[in-house]
């Protein structure tokens, strides 16, 4: 599998390191500062993996659609309009789009969805995420994915932290973002009931888990039909 890496930051370099350890994987090249400017500068590509920044999206989608390149998108912070562009492109090429490529987080999202459905309104829900002090967006994409798992229809108000005198809790889900040090990523979903509590928690000790997941997604994408997929599709058999 020949892989084009869009973004030569920490995630891109980690994927490159893993590919160097597997004779079946080859990095065709990087798109980013000090490397190629566009995907069109790279030939013999089977799949493009994008861990860069939202400003690259137009170039990535245009090239992928024109060249019929499967895509794995791990960039976060897209606008609503950019999200719509990704969905439109997926009608022509397979796109695996996820906010977190950890297999553990993927399973956690499924468990959180099952718990929320079973527990219903009798339990209050709070989501807490922690990341390193260099992370630019908050809440994290993974926290948003967990929110979508427990509240897929947007039935709850989302409260981003609390201050002052917020009063009695309403029909809401609290979202809390902590930043500090070198934490690769930690997420928890807590369900508070009457005299009992359930907590689902995932901690990442290294970005390597995300790189390994992205490579699983790439292997899935090159065999998939056009469509929009996520890591649950990759792990549990596709749509």
Q: Name the pTM for this structure.
A: 0.81
Share of the chain above pLDDT 70, in %: 99
CB 144 within 8 A of CB 187: no
d(CA 162, CA 125): 14
45-48: long-range contacts at Cβ-Cβ below 8 A with a sequence spacing of 24 or more? 45/2, 45/3, 45/4, 45/69, 46/1, 46/2, 46/3, 46/70, 46/222, 47/1, 47/2, 47/3, 47/4, 47/71, 47/72, 47/218, 47/221, 47/222, 48/3, 48/4, 48/5, 48/6, 48/72
* C-alpha to C-alpha distance for 71 and 17, rounded to whole angstroms: 20
Which pLDDT score, from 0 to 100, does residue 100 have?
Answer: 84
Please check the confidence at residue 239 and state whether its pLDDT lies above 80: no
Q: Residue 207: its pLDDT value, please?
A: 83
Gap between the Cα atoms of 28 and 42, Å rounded: 7
- Phi, psi values for residue 120, rounded to 5°: 60, -150
Q: Specify which residues 201 forms β-bridges with.
A: 188
- 173: pLDDT strictly greater than 70: yes
Average pLDDT over residues 67-82: 94
Q: What average pLDDT does the structure give for the chain? A: 94
Name the token pair of 215.
């490579």
CA dist 61 and 186 (Å) reads 31
Distance (Å, rounded) from C-alpha 80 to C-alpha 58? 14
Q: What is the DSSP letter of 133?
A: T
Selected catalytic residue, list 26, 135, 176, 216: 135
Q: Is the pLDDT of residue 231 over 80?
A: yes
176 is catalytic: no
Q: State how far the Cα of 14 lies from the Cα of 229, in Å rounded to an integer.
A: 23
Asked if residue 95 lies in contact with residue 50, where contact means CB atoms within 8 angstroms, the answer is no
Query: What DSSP character marks residue 209?
Result: H
Catalytic residue, candidates 10, 26, 131, 187: 131
pLDDT digits (tens, 9 = 90+) for 24-73: 999 999 999 989 999 999 999 999 999 999 999 999 999 999 999 999 99
Whether 135 is catalytic? yes
HSE-CB of 220 using CA atoms within 13 angstroms:
26
Return the exposure string of 117-127: e unless at least 16 CB atoms fall within 10 Å of the residue's CB, then b: eebeeebbbbb
């Amino acid at each position: 599998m020949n892989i084009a890496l869009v973004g030569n930051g920490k995630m891109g370099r980690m994927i490159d390191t893993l590919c160097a350890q597997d004779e079946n994987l080859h990095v065709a090249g990087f798109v980013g500062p000090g490397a190629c400017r566009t995907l069109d500068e790279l030939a013999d590509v089977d799949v493009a993996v994008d861990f860069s920044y939202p400003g690259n999206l137009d170039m990535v989608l245009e090239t992928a659609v024109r060249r019929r390149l499967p895509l794995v998108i791990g960039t976060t912070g897209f606008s609503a309009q950019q999200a719509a562009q990704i969905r439109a492109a997926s009608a022509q090429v397979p796109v695996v789009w996820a906010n977190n490529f950890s297999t553990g987080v993927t399973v956690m999202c499924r468990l959180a969805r099952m718990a929320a459905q079973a527990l219903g309104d009798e339990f209050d829900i709070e989501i807490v995420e922690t990341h390193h002090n260099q992370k630019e967006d908050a809440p994290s994409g993974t926290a948003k994915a967990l929110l979508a798992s427990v509240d897929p229809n947007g039935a709850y108000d989302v409260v981003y932290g609390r201050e002052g005198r917020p009063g009695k809790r309403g029909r809401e889900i609290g979202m809390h973002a902590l930043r500090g040090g070198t934490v690769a990523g930690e997420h928890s979903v807590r369900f508070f009931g009457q005299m009992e509590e359930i907590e689902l928690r995932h901690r990442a000790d290294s970005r390597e888990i995300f790189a390994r997941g992205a490579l699983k997604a790439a292997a899935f994408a090159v065999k998939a039909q056009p469509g929009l997929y996520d890591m649950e599709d990759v792990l549990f058999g596709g749509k």
